[in-house]
């Protein structure tokens, strides 16, 4: 692998059409060994489609792809791999077999191609141990992948690419599930691999600070077109966002509220002494009517675990929950829904939507009994209500029958939110609601969240994106290792202070500003 020559990847005039839409419109792109070339763009801009063309998942309708000046034809993932192109998907588990060992996963493509009846296991373990060391995996290659963390699984996917002699590595939203420490480790690893193997990395991400930190060049797509390429040291986040949206990014300011809460607002949800395992440790807080309570914390702080308990998905070991002053038992999501508690989960594709179902059924399913009469679904009423939700949230879809899996990430998230607007929800919990969506969709989600609170709902907004928590919240709790370590009025804190407590740097376990004491 160390003998791989310096390589050049070029795409010229790439076009890809789907029914009713041109997803990629005469795109030119190039990338070179020894660099990280980022591709950014709003949801639906075409960046994922373009990379699927590069990796053989889709075939381009027209255009040329060249490697080292020679035209190549990529008609399948196996063809792309043979040409030295590998992709590490956002959902890394789709590239792995969890019940096989690390070594078997790394060598999977080679094992599938070999004609020998027997596997030389000692040779396979020896070969894969070398590449496991290259990616700094730090565990035995005989370990089943099911025991690995997300960060470790991501390294196994990168090891797969190196083992297959990849020259071009495509990373799709690689940091979405990583802690800040793991992000730093990933970046250090990428720089080391680029230097050692002369790799070319094509990096897709919505996180602008990360892109500016890691990329050598940044290419921006909008509406299927490539609108420009910049170098981070000669550009700015504002310039790139303007290129993505064709408008200036809103200055960092609070999301406007028509009816903000006041200190006389009724307490709707009260949580006392909640405990479960290591990541929910004596959690206590309250949420008032029309209030947006931000829960900030880095990955693994316990935010998701609290959200799951409040939605009845997990049972606490101890603690009490009150809704409108009455103690409630949340033994299941059905119990939570009965008390008006709704959850928009972090993993929308696994827990928030049915990707194979159409938009209309996703929106109406949690309240299906409303549309049933004498055992039959009233399809006309179902479509009427779903159409109103689509219009209210600005969900972009071909029609109500379109499967949700064909929507952009931002529109999938709107569907995940929209299904709760059919019933009488009073407490809305959002867990990383902008994960995997572009800056334009984020603003729309912020407006939806603020609108729910203005209409009288109580909102809990959980996120590791501290800037987002500051913009949307009225009051902010900070979690660290399962504890609520600080509480702030959103107007009396900045991002630096939040990060101090979220990273365990605060001097006291519980800190409240004068405004919230």
- The domain that holds 419 is classified in CATH as 3.40.50.300
Q: Say if residue 508's pLDDT is above 70.
A: no
pLDDT band at 267; cut points 50, 70, 90: very high
Q: Is residue 257 part of a domain?
A: no
pLDDT band at 334; cut points 50, 70, 90: very high
- Token pair, residue 63, equals 């255009």
Average pLDDT, the chain: 88
State residue 119's pLDDT score: 79
- Please tell me whether residues 326 and 444 are part of one structural domain: yes
**Phi, psi (deg, nearest 5) at residue 178:** -105, 150
Q: Which of 12-16, 20-24, 175-179 has the highest mean pLDDT?
A: 12-16
Q: Which of 214, 245, 276 is the last residue of a domain?
A: 245
Would you say 174 and 88 are in contact if contact means Cβ atoms under 8 Å apart? yes
- Please tell me whether residues 368 and 275 are part of one structural domain: yes
Handedness of CA 55, 56, 60, 63 (dihedral sign): positive
Q: What is the pLDDT of residues 44-65, one digit of tens each?
A: 788 889 999 999 999 999 999 9
- Collapsed DSSP state (helix, strand, coil) of residue 443: helix
Q: Is residue 511 part of a domain?
A: no
Percent of the chain predicted with pLDDT > 90: 55
Own/partner contacts of 502-511, CB < 8 Å, gap of 24 or more, are: 502/296, 502/297, 502/298, 502/301, 502/464, 502/466, 502/478, 503/180, 503/298, 504/480, 506/478, 506/480, 509/483, 509/485, 510/484, 510/485, 510/486, 511/485, 511/486, 511/487
State residue 323's pLDDT score: 96
State residue 509's pLDDT score: 42
pLDDT band at 247; cut points 50, 70, 90: low
Q: What is the pLDDT of residues 121-169, one digit of tens each?
A: 888 899 999 999 999 999 999 999 999 988 899 999 999 999 999 999 9
Q: Which domain holds residue 447?
A: 267-502
Q: Say if residue 5's pLDDT is above 70.
A: no
Q: What is the pLDDT of residues 279-306, one digit of tens each?
A: 899 999 999 999 999 999 887 789 999 9
State residue 512's pLDDT score: 43
Q: Which of 6-10, 195-199, 433-437 has the highest mean pLDDT?
A: 195-199
Q: What is the pLDDT of residues 369-402, one digit of tens each?
A: 777 887 787 788 888 888 998 988 888 888 898 8
Question: Cα separations (Å) of 322 from 38, 330, 338?
Answer: 47, 10, 13
Which carries the bigger pLDDT value, residue 510 or residue 315? 315
- Please tell me whether residues 184 and 316 are part of one structural domain: no
- Please tell me whether residues 161 and 295 are part of one structural domain: no
- Please tell me whether residues 130 and 14 are part of one structural domain: yes
- Please tell me whether residues 271 and 176 are part of one structural domain: no
Q: What is the pLDDT of residues 434-458, one digit of tens each?
A: 887 777 788 889 999 999 999 999 9
Q: Is residue 391 part of a domain?
A: yes
State residue 350's pLDDT score: 81
Q: Is residue 514 part of a domain?
A: no
Which carries the bigger pLDDT value, residue 260 or residue 207? 260
State residue 171's pLDDT score: 94
pLDDT band at 249; cut points 50, 70, 90: low
Q: Say if residue 353's pLDDT is above 90.
A: no
- Please tell me whether residues 232 and 353 are part of one structural domain: no
- Token pair, residue 8, equals 């050049």
- Please tell me whether residues 162 and 45 are part of one structural domain: yes
End-to-end CA distance of the chain: 60
Q: Is residue 54 part of a domain?
A: yes
Please name the helix (run of DSSP H) or strand (run of DSSP E) that holds residue 77, with its range, or none.
helix 77-82
Percent of the chain predicted with pLDDT > 70: 94
- Please tell me whether residues 224 and 328 are part of one structural domain: no
What is the maximum span of the chain, computed from C-alpha positions, in angstroms? 76
DSSP 6: P
Q: Is residue 317 part of a domain?
A: yes
Please spell the DSSP secondary structure of 268-329, one letter per residue. Answer: EEEEEEEEETTTEEEEEEEEETT-EEEEE--TTSSHHHHHHHHTTSS--SEEEEEETTEEE-
Q: Is residue 167 part of a domain?
A: yes
State residue 377's pLDDT score: 78
Work out how many domains the chain is built from and give that number: 2
Q: Say if residue 112's pLDDT is above 70.
A: no
- Please tell me whether residues 439 and 292 are part of one structural domain: yes
Please spell the DSSP secondary structure of 178-242, one letter per residue. Answer: --HHHHHHHHHHHHHHHHHH--EEEEE-S-HHHHHHH-SEEEEEETTEEEEEE-GGG--HHHHHH
How far is residue 420's CA from residue 417's CA, in Å, rounded to a whole number? 6
Q: What pTM was computed for the model?
A: 0.65
State residue 182's pLDDT score: 87
- Please tell me whether residues 231 and 272 are part of one structural domain: no
State residue 481's pLDDT score: 84
Q: Is residue 299 part of a domain?
A: yes
- Please tell me whether residues 379 and 497 are part of one structural domain: yes
């Amino acid at each position: 692998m160390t003998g791989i020559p310096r390589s050049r990847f070029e795409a010229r005039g790439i076009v890809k059409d789907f029914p009713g839409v041109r997803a990629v419109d005469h795109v030119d792109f190039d990338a070179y060994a020894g660099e990280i070339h980022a591709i950014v763009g709003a949801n639906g801009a075409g960046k994922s489609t373009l990379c699927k063309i590069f990796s053989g998942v889709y075939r381009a309708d027209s255009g040329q792809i060249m490697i080292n000046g020679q035209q190549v034809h990529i008609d399948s993932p196996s063809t792309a791999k043979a040409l030295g192109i590998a992709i590490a998907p956002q959902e890394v588990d789709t590239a792995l077999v969890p019940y096989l060992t690390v070594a078997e996963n790394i060598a999977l493509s080679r094992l599938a191609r070999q004609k020998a009846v027997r596997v030389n296991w000692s040779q396979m373990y020896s070969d894969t141990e070398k590449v496991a060391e290259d990616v700094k995996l730090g565990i035995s290659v005989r370990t089943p992948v099911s025991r690995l963390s997300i960060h470790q699984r991501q390294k196994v996917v990168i090891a797969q690419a190196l083992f297959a002699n990849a020259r071009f590595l495509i990373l799709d939203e690689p940091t979405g599930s990583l802690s800040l420490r793991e992000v730093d480790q990933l970046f250090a690893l990428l720089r080391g691999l680029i230097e050692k193997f002369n790799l070319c990395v094509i990096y897709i991400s919505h996180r602008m600070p990360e892109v500016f930190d890691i990329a050598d060049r940044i290419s921006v797509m909008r509406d299927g077109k490539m609108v420009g390429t910049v170098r981070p040291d000669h550009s700015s986040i504002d310039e790139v966002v303007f290129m993505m949206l064709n408008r200036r990014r809103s200055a960092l300011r609070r999301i406007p509220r028509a009816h903000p809460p006041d200190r006389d607002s009724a307490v709707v949800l009260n949580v006392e002494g909640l405990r479960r395992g290591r990541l929910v440790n004596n959690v206590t807080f309250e949420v008032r009517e029309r209030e947006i309570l931000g829960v900030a914390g880095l990955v693994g702080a316990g935010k998701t675990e609290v959200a799951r308990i409040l939605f009845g998905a997990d049972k606490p070991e101890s603690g009490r929950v009150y809704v409108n002053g009455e103690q409630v038992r949340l033994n299941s999501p059905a119990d939570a829904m009965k008390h008006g508690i709704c959850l928009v989960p972090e993993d929308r594709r696994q827990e928030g939507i049915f990707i194979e179902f159409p938009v209309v059924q996703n929106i109406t399913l949690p309240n299906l009994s409303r549309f049933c009469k004498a055992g039959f679904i009233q399809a006309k009423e179902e479509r009427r209500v779903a159409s109103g939700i689509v219009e209210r949230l600005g969900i972009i879809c071909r029609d109500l029958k379109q499967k949700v899996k064909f929507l952009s990430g931002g529109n999938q998230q709107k569907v995940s939110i929209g299904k709760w607007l059919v019933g009488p929800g009073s407490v809305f919990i959002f867990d990383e609601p902008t994960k995997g969506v572009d800056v334009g969709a984020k603003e729309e989600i912020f407006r939806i969240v603020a609108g729910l609170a203005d209409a009288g709902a109580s909102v809990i907004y959980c996120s590791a994106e501290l800037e987002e928590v500051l913009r949307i919240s009225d009051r902010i709790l900070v979690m660290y290792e399962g504890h609520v370590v600080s509480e702030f009025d959103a107007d009396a804190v900045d991002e630096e202070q939040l990060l101090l407590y979220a990273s365990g740097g605060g001097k006291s376990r519980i800190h409240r500003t004068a405004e919230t004491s």
